[in-house]
């Protein structure tokens, strides 16, 4: 476990942005396209009304650039771009380099970060550390096009994933929620639980592996994986609160990773946190992996839920396993 305590005002989220895939896809749409989904059963089980998929020709860098353009709010220079993704445009080079080019931010540092569904907290941690060691502004983004990595015949994943991006401009000073405490955790024992078997250096993609659909997401374990997810979310919440010397009653807004609606409901019960004070967007987006927490942060800010005088707790778990927790504080206005 790694803990980062950030001095007040050293890393402030000054603006955010978000983008979703162009096509709105319902369970009925998936079923009509031949996907192995049961509209009624999966609707009740997942609580996902629809998700967004990109159009042909749109990729991860395109969604990232759209979200980043909003977050930049007209700004024409940053010191660094950090892109969290596990669905890059290409295995090499870094997708952040294309995002930089699309934004016209030539010359700044740009690099990718892969932490699966925990990508956004990991990127916020990297941004805060960069600001504490000399950078003046960091553009954080998480973007995913997971629809291109889903096997439509795999009922455990076909209805889950959506495409989207979220971005945040982080800099010292100014108005906005401050990054105060970050806790990161990983446990490689879970490396093979949620993964794409083929397409990397250990098992390069071949015609045979594509035919066997080994270049798509695999989730092993079913109910056991669900319980591990809940345990991981509760664990990172407890560790982050302890590091920040807070209790769950000190939190005004919960921003969790959102694999499905039923997981969020169960999580709130376990944490004894009111679900009505939890930012929940999965019903409209599906699971967008790294982009999920960032998108919900954007929605909490746009909707006024995270406002001056309030404190938020972001918690995520992802494949690998990875986990991340962030305490955000927005001081009261003077």
Confirm whether 106 is a catalytic residue: no
Backbone region of residue 103 per phi and psi (left: phi > 0; alpha: psi in -120 to 50; beta: other values): alpha
Kindly state the tokens that stand for 143.
């973007």
Q: What is the Cα–Cα distance from 162 to 292, expressed in whole angstroms?
A: 9
d(CA 202, CA 112) in angstroms, rounded, equals 20
Q: Which position among 50, 52, 185, 257 bears the catalytic label?
A: 257
The catalytically annotated residue of 68, 117, 141, 268 is: 117
- For residue 239, report the phi and psi dihedrals to the nearest 5 degrees: -65, -40
Whole-angstrom Cα Rg for the chain:
19
**192 alpha-carbon distance from chain centroid:** 20
Note if 287 is an active site residue: yes
Give, in order, the Cα–Cα distances in Å from 157 to each of 30, 37, 126, 145: 12, 9, 30, 14
- 42 flagged as catalytic: no
**Active-site positions?**
117, 257, 287
């Amino acid at each position: 476990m790694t803990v980062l305590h950030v001095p007040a005002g050293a890393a402030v989220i000054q603006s955010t942005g978000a983008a979703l895939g162009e096509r709105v896809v319902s369970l009925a749409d998936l079923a009509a396209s031949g996907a192995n989904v049961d509209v009624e059963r999966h609707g009740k089980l997942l609580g996902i009304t629809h998700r967004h998929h990109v159009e042909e020709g749109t990729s991860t860098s395109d969604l990232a650039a759209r979200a980043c353009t909003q977050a930049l709010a007209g700004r024409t220079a940053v010191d660094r771009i950090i892109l969290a993704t596990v669905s890059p445009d290409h295995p090499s080079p870094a997708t952040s380099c294309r995002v930089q080019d699309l934004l016209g931010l030539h010359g700044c540092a740009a690099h990718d970060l892969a932490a699966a569904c925990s990508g956004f907290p990991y990127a916020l941690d990297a941004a805060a550390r960069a600001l504490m060691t000399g950078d003046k502004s960091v553009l954080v983004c998480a973007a995913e096009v997971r629809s291109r990595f889903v096997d439509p015949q795999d009922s455990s994943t076909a209805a889950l994933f959506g495409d989207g991006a979220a971005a945040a401009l982080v800099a010292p000073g100014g108005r906005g929620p401050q990054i105060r405490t970050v806790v990161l955790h990983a446990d490689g024992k879970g490396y093979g639980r949620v993964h794409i078997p083929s397409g990397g250096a250990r098992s390069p993609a071949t015609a045979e592996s594509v035919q066997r659909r080994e270049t798509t997401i695999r989730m092993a374990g079913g109910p056991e994986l669900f319980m591990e997810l809940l345990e991981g979310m509760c664990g990172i919440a407890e560790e982050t609160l302890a590091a920040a010397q807070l209790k769950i009653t000190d939190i005004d807004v919960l921003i969790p990773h959102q694999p499905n609606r039923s997981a969020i409901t169960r999580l709130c019960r376990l944490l004894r946190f009111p679900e009505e004070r939890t930012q929940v967007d999965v019903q409209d987006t599906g699971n967008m992996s790294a982009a999920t927490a960032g998108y919900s942060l954007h929605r909490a800010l746009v909707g006024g839920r995270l406002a001056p005088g309030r404190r938020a707790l972001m918690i995520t778990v992802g494949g690998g396993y990875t986990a991340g927790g962030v305490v955000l504080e927005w001081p009261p206005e003077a």
